[in-house]
Amino acid sequence: MEMIPAWLDGGLHPVEKLEVHRRGLRHRAVSVFLLCGGDLLIQRRAMGKYHTPGLWANTCCTHPAWEEEPRHCARRRLKEELGLAGLSPVLRDQVEYRADVGNGMTEHEVVDLFLVHAPERPALRPNLAEVMDTRWIGLHALKAEVARDPASFTPWMRIYLEQYAERIFGPDLA
**How many whole angstroms separate alpha carbon 17 and alpha carbon 5?**
9
163 class by beta-carbon count within 10 Å (0-12 exposed, 13-18 middle, 19+ buried): exposed
Catalytic residue chosen out of the listed positions 60, 73, 107, 109: 109
Pairing of strands 105-117, 26-36: parallel
Catalytic residue chosen out of the listed positions 16, 60, 61, 107: 61
Active site residue 109: yes
CB neighbours of residue 86 within 10 Å: 8
Active site residue 61: yes
Catalytic residues: 61, 109
